[in-house]
Structures are given as structure tokens and as C-alpha cells.
Amino acid sequence: MIKKLLIKKQNYVYILECIDGTYYTGWTNDMKKRFENHINGKGAKYTKWKKPLKIVYIQECEDKSTSLKREIEIKNMSKHQKIKLVQNHKEITKEILGCIFNDNMI
């Protein structure tokens, strides 16, 4: 079981599924705020027009550097590889998001 992660700033890499079925990959140290920004059209140019629906993947990282490296790795994956990544991490993603959003936004 994952412990509450909000004691210190945590770094995350995440994948959003957008309204047209495409994925957006990014990193943040405040997932709640970053997702709200994406929803409100303030997160990134891509999500401003593609309208994110939900967070389908999230991974905790030690620090910003690790997050950025993982973000690049994921962005270089094919759509098929990203789908497989999302499917293989559904439960852990749900658990992490439950800690971050207190089960309200997943």
C-alpha cells in the first residue's frame, strides 16, 4: 500500500488522455494544481485545444531530473507502447491518484 505522499513535494510524470483519444505526457511537482490548470486550458498549448479528460498514468520520481528523463522516455514511446504502459499500471495509478485527490477526481 502506498503511504500518503503529500508530506513533501513529490515529483511526478503523468499521461493525460484527451477528448480525441490522444495522450499528453508531462511532469509536475504539484499534480492537483497541474491537472486543474490543464482542465482550465492553462496547462499547455496541446491540452488547451485537445481538452484532457483524465489522468491515465502517473509515476512518482525522486527528483525533477528523474521526472524529466522519464517524461522524455515516455514521449519517445509509440502510441501502442504508451497504451501498454497505461494498462500495466492502472492499479498503482489509481492508488497514487487516490492519495493526491482524496478519491475525488479519478
pLDDT digits (tens, 9 = 90+) for 38-95: 999 998 999 998 999 899 999 999 999 999 999 999 999 999 999 999 999 999 999 9
Distance CA 101, CA 5 (A): 11
Tell which wins on pLDDT, 105 or 68. Answer: 68
Chain centroid to Cα 4, Å, comes to: 17
Q: Which amino acid type is present at position 42?
A: K
Q: Does 31 have pLDDT greater than 90?
A: yes
**pLDDT given at position 106:** 45
The tally of CA atoms less than 13 A away on the side-chain side of residue 56 is 19
**Cα separation values, 58 from 29, 90, Å:** 12, 9
Is the predicted pLDDT of residue 1 greater than 50, yes or no? no
The Cα 1–Cα 4 span in angstroms is: 10
